[in-house]
Structure 1
């Protein structure tokens, strides 16, 4: 099968939760399914919300310190100004989700599923997407200290006007992953970039790394 002539961009539809009812942090609990709720300035710190389902909801100004969202499902949900120093979202599902203006410390989304997700104007210290599945994911104007995509499967993913201090892609499977808008400080195992799209200046900057992977020597 022939590859498309150009890198395909993420296909996104902004989440529209519709008319929402106000709710409090105490309304959230593990294994609950909640629909059509709006939470403002909720403190979710030290809460175990394993298996929680939020469908057509919004969170504005929430704090999530050491919050557990393992196996949680966020569907058609908008998140603004989230502060999450430590957030455990392993094996969670994010579908039709938008996160804007947020400050995330350590976000562990190990083996998570992200489909139709947009992050904009966010700062993240460590984002672990090890073994995750990403489809139609867009990061805009984001700064990440470390992005771990070890063993991840990513399709139609783009990073625009973003910077990452270190990116780990060992064992990843990439298709239509557009990194031309990403400033990369350090990359671990360039062989994991197969399937990604880079700009010429990025390739030139990584020449030594590519040469080392191929076992060739560059001399003037």
Structure 2
């Protein structure tokens, strides 16, 4: 069983190279049975990628480029997504378990109602993405991700770790942030500071939060 440690959480990742597991190449992720298992889907240029009510179990998605992505009611278990450029993503009401999303572009993505358990986002670009009603039910980490102007709204990010991420004007709206680990990130331009009750930061980040709050409240600091 492969694991990665980030701060206070340990993420269990897919072990797709285990002995006895053979991944078959597939040309599409559509299936009449609604299940695609032990698969490899890679090197595809698509105009659109539409999936609904589908289970993806034990597989790799790599180097996929799509101009439009619509994903609904998916169940991903033991899946690795890497090196992909997914544009105009609309991803809703899905569950991800033991999933790694690595070196992918999901800029401007709209992610709504995702449930995450043992999920790692690594080196991904989420600029201007919106995360609505996302819920972490197990270990989740964002590491080395760019979240410029991304918005989290009505999410439960309890115990989620953000490590070495770019959080430039990232907005944390109303939600749950108990023990959300923000250590090791520049927090000086984040928004929604007042919502971040009970998060984890280090001593050096206290000044970042003060700067962010002063900026967000448009406070003028001066002697006259």
Which TM class, normalised by the smaller chain length?
Answer: 0.7 to 0.9
Q: 1:185 to 1:207 in 2, by over 3 A?
A: closer
Partner of 2:206: 203
Alignment of 1:20-169 (within 5 A): 20-25=23-28, 27-28=29-30, 32-134=34-136, 135-169=138-172
Partner of 2:3: none
Within the candidate set 172, 177, 181, 2:180 is matched to 177
Structure 1 moving runs of 4+ over 6 Å: 211-214, 216-220
Counterpart of 1:163 in 2: which secondary structure?
coil
Q: 1:210 to 1:123 in 2, by over 3 A?
A: closer
Deviation at 1:197, TM superposition (A): 0.9
Q: Distance between the aligned counterparts of 1:212 and 1:83, measured in 2?
A: 34
Q: 1:219 to 1:205 in 2, by over 3 A?
A: farther
Q: Distance between the aligned counterparts of 1:43 and 1:28, measured in 2?
A: 16
Counterpart of 2:173 in 1: which secondary structure?
coil
* Number of residue pairs the alignment of both structures matches: 212
Counterpart of 1:203 in 2: which secondary structure?
helix
Q: 1:101 to 1:179 in 2, by over 3 A?
A: same
Q: 1:175 to 1:44 in 2, by over 3 A?
A: farther
Deviation at 1:147, TM superposition (A): 2.6
Alignment of 1:179-194 (within 5 A): 179-184=182-187, 186-194=189-197
TM-score by length of 2: 0.83
Counterpart of 1:204 in 2: which secondary structure?
helix
Q: Distance between the aligned counterparts of 2:67 and 2:94, measured in 1?
A: 17
Q: 1:48 to 1:82 in 2, by over 3 A?
A: same
Q: Can you list the C-alpha shifts for 1:173-217, whole angstroms capped at 9, x where unaligned?
A: 012211012223532221211121122232212225557999x99
CA RMSD of aligned residues (A): 2.6
Where does structure 1 lack aligned partners over 5 or more consecutive residues? 1-6
TM-score by length of 1: 0.85
